[in-house]
Structure 1
Amino acid sequence: MSPSINVEDLPLNRFHKRLAVYSAGGPFLDGYVLSIIGIALVQAAPQLELTLYWEGLIGASALVGIFIGGFLGGWLTDKFGRQTLYTLDLAAIVLCSALQFWVQEAIWLFVLRLLIGIAVGADYPIATSLLVEFTPRKYRGPLVGGLIVMWFVGAAAAYIVGELLLQAGPDGWRWMLASATLPAVVFLILRHGTPESPRWLANKGRLKEAKAVVAKVFGEGVRLESFGAVPGEHVNASVLFRSGYGGRIFFISVFWTCSIIPLFAIYAFAPRILDALGLGASMANVGSAFITILFLLGTLVFVLLINRLGRRKVILHSFLWSGLALLGLGHFPQSSPIVTMILFAAYALLIGGTQILQWVYPNELFPTEIRGTAVGLASSLSRIGAAAGTYLVPLSLTELGIGPTMLIAAGVTLVGFLVSLRMAPETRGLGLHEASSCREGDPRTRLEKVAISGERCRLFPHES
């Protein structure tokens, strides 16, 4: 191996593949715990004598926890490193999931699911930062973007397990909620022994440890300088905004929110929406299951296309065409069942591009010292939109009707398109230090100097 080889140009090895699988635990558990509660409450509500108030709180508790955990986990992983938190958050999920089996009061179920949500939310910035900091540029988009596929796999698994355990007797709901322990334990065992990110180590001035990780994972022939690391550089969140990275935070938060509001709302209320569009109750249930599969397929398709088309084209085409599909549903809410299913299927497939970029863009556009914080902040802000959309959809269906509801969803999606048209960068083929730098050709812009000098960080890393 040549001593001058850049780590960004290395071939994919077994370590990269294992790390991608281990990192998929967070999104899998997110999809699982958020989906299985809806089935579990069918039995749990009468047994625990839950009021509508408590049902709503318990149903939303994990989502609130993810909001808290996203930002908290991002800050902690930038401060204390990726490795330790990479396993601690899963240990918390194991403990809290198991304890759900013995709850007797609504308040404790709420608290446990809130804690599970915090742990799941914290895993997003932790796991994605660790994965992106090890992955070569050629494979970064597909591997990091592909993690979102596991959210839908987790959701599908939850529905299957939930339906099976409903037949297990009156305590089936306890087994449902505790069942998240099993995949969490599996991923916890798999993650044991994962090394710390050498980029983070080098940034903290721990060069000897960083070199040892590089040598172990990539071999003696790869130099630490290939990471573009600057030892001892420390940056806090305030410098992030003062140095001009606030524009990138704004772009990511807006596009993520516009992507997730219609999707979460439609995913949560697919049977009711399809019934309102004239498919009938039985066909609506079949249709919602079919659309769930298409959401999964859509993410898979764009994982394959992200390197071929580039990030900017993927986000623009995904927002534009999925928004037009929702626009069609809004303008023709009483079309034939075939037309309705075609438009809904088109939305489910085409929105996949924005889904995979939710983790690719924030991990590429921010430097090592604040990568976790930026991913966590964007993740937390997006959950506000998800919660709002999920809460408002049933009200909109009742008060406004299906046509206006779909038009609002289309409007939110097309706002995402317009913001992306103005602000979406192209980071395909760039090294992490290039994509996250303020200027092209500056392998590691020091954020403190930029903040002091008043220079602004360009949104497009490649512009001259």
Structure 2
Amino acid sequence: MIINPLDDAPLTRFHKKLAVFSSGGPFLDGFILSIIGVAMVQISDQWHLSAAAQGLIAASTLIGILFGAYVGGRMTDRFGREVLFTIDLIAIIAFSVAQFFAPNVIWLIILRLLIGMAVGADYPIATSLLTEFTPRKYRGPFLGAFVAMWFVGAAVAYIVGQLLAQTGDVNAWRWMLASAAIPAIIIVLARIGTPESPRWLVSKGRHDEADEVMRKVYGPSVSVTDLPQEEDANVGVKDLLRSGYGTRMAFITLFWTFSIVPLFAVYAFAPKILGALNLSGDAVHVGSAVITILFLVGCVIALFLVNRVGRRPLLIHSFLWSGIALALLGFFPNASTWIIMALFAIYAVVIGGTQIMQWVYPNELFPTEIRGTAVGMASSLSRIGAAVGTFLVPMALDSLGIGMTMLIGAAITLLGAVLSHFMAPETRGMTLTESAALGTAPAPSRQAAPVAA
């Protein structure tokens, strides 16, 4: 294996700080999407909201993420990673504070739509920057940690929301929504001074600036001459889809969709689903909390496995065994409480592999010039399926029943396993140039170079 000063650099304090600051985006995503669930109780009472209005408020952030991820991806490839790395968080701070003064439901929906756009934009910006600086040995775990941070943000949101709700303040819901500005301020201050990606600078012909960054990060003996030559990928969206990268985009979008459609449905409607499975009272609330924790546990376990077992086996097995768990729930909806909770626990833990690969594969399979665009587009397209699936879950439970609903979720998940078997490449141990180059990425059957854990 060829040693490269960038891809094989030792892990430094700079890399660790960048990983933490970059994961601020998914933390805020989990916080913002979860805090609205706690705040909605008080908002609905004060504004006498209909079910449709509540749905629009909850969905507005997801819709914003859909557009923001694509726009952010395009902008980060055009204008660079460094500037947008802080601008998007400043927007989150401003719109979060503005929610405190929202006079009616229309303004609240608009503000949450704008927040969603800023959150969505941060994903391709932050992941591109982290990918292009991180040594290959740590790239998979660092990118996978993005998903884990989403669940950390969600857990913090529930704690903050409950504490504020217990104050009895009529404006508690306003404080809840505005509270997202606090972690956003901390993150944006921490991000100040982050250098631009030397790979992106070189792609724009700014070699002197790239040299300066590389000497600062990797040492005085490293320069742009140490950057591997990437193939020319200066293409638009239509050209991207028509080129060989179109197949990769299709794979990423499909496996991402197959992964999050059942997961979003289970996560969003866990109490309702558990109730339909004959759980009641405290068992529903405890079960919902346990499932949330286990989603995080599953992501953490997957972080330790992504380099040990490889990307492709992790994705396939994650889809396979989580799909089987959902299928058993569908075939045996009247099983005992302990069996139901055990199957849900298996699903929540095992699906973690597909969750972390949502950020590993898109960043490894596309070159620098279109990496942000590709990540943003895949994130946006997958949200469409997730939104539709989440919207249909309550109707499916009412019209089809819990058993058939779980079987549909199982079918979608197992379809992801089949797709991954035929299309998932193995990129473990590769440099970014190797994994992103058309014609050189390994076929599914090829073994990747071993990497130490």
* Amino acid corresponding to residue 218 of structure 1 in structure 2: Y
Matched ranges for 1:296-315 at <5 A? 296-315=296-315
Q: Give the superposition deviation at 1:277.
A: 0.8
What is the TM-score normalised by the length of structure 1?
A: 0.93
Query: Are the equivalent residues in 2 in contact too, given 1:435–1:461 (CA < 8 A)?
Result: no
Of 429-438 and 387-396, the range deviating more from structure 2: 387-396
SS in 2 for 1:9: coil
Q: Distance between the aligned counterparts of 1:222 and 1:233, measured in 2? A: 25
* Amino acid corresponding to residue 85 of structure 1 in structure 2: L
Q: Give the superposition deviation at 1:276.
A: 1.0
Q: Which residue of 2 aligns with 1:95?
A: 94
Q: Which ranges in structure 2 are unaligned for 5 or more consecutive residues?
A: 449-453
Q: Which residue of 1 aligns with 2:359?
A: 359
Q: Which residue of 2 aligns with 1:47?
A: 46
**CA spacing shift, 1:5–1:463, aligned 2, 3 Å:** closer
Q: Distance between the aligned counterparts of 2:233 and 2:265, measured in 1? A: 42
Matched ranges for 1:2-401 at <5 A? 5-168=4-167, 169-229=169-229, 234-401=234-401
SS in 2 for 1:225: helix
Q: Give the superposition deviation at 1:439.
A: 2.5
Query: Are the equivalent residues in 1 in contact too, given 2:230–2:433 (CA < 8 A)?
Result: no
Query: Are the equivalent residues in 2 in contact too, given 1:125–1:373 (CA < 8 A)?
Result: yes
Query: Are the equivalent residues in 1 in contact too, given 2:230–2:437 (CA < 8 A)?
Result: no
Residues 308-331 of structure 1: per-residue CA shift (max 9 Å, x gap): 000001001100000000000000
* Amino acid corresponding to residue 244 of structure 2 in structure 1: G
Query: Are the equivalent residues in 2 in contact too, given 1:5–1:221 (CA < 8 A)?
Result: no
Query: Are the equivalent residues in 1 in contact too, given 2:26–2:146 (CA < 8 A)?
Result: yes
* Amino acid corresponding to residue 353 of structure 2 in structure 1: G
Residues 339-358 of structure 1: per-residue CA shift (max 9 Å, x gap): 11110000000000000000
* Amino acid corresponding to residue 19 of structure 1 in structure 2: L
SS in 1 for 2:199: helix
Q: Distance between the aligned counterparts of 2:104 and 2:95, measured in 1? A: 15
SS in 2 for 1:8: coil
Q: Give the superposition deviation at 1:228.
A: 1.6
Q: Which residue of 1 aligns with 2:439?
A: 439
* Amino acid corresponding to residue 13 of structure 2 in structure 1: R
SS in 1 for 2:83: helix
* Amino acid corresponding to residue 339 of structure 2 in structure 1: V
Q: CA RMSD, aligned part only? A: 1.7
What is the TM-score normalised by the length of structure 2?
A: 0.95
Q: Distance between the aligned counterparts of 1:334 and 1:233, measured in 2? A: 54
Q: Give the superposition deviation at 1:239.
A: 2.5
**CA spacing shift, 1:170–1:127, aligned 2, 3 Å:** same
Identity %: 58
Residues 383-414 of structure 1: per-residue CA shift (max 9 Å, x gap): 11111121111111111110000000000000
Q: Distance between the aligned counterparts of 1:312 and 1:461, measured in 2? A: 10
Query: Are the equivalent residues in 1 in contact too, given 2:233–2:367 (CA < 8 A)?
Result: no
Q: Distance between the aligned counterparts of 2:308 and 2:231, measured in 1? A: 35
Q: Distance between the aligned counterparts of 1:247 and 1:24, measured in 2? A: 28
Q: Give the superposition deviation at 1:46.
A: 2.5
Number of equivalent positions: 445
Q: Give the superposition deviation at 1:368.
A: 0.4
SS in 1 for 2:308: helix
Residues 6-61 of structure 1: per-residue CA shift (max 9 Å, x gap): 31111100100000000011000000111111111111122233232221111100
Q: Which ranges in structure 1 are unaligned for 5 or more consecutive residues?
A: 441-456
Query: Are the equivalent residues in 1 in contact too, given 2:234–2:370 (CA < 8 A)?
Result: no
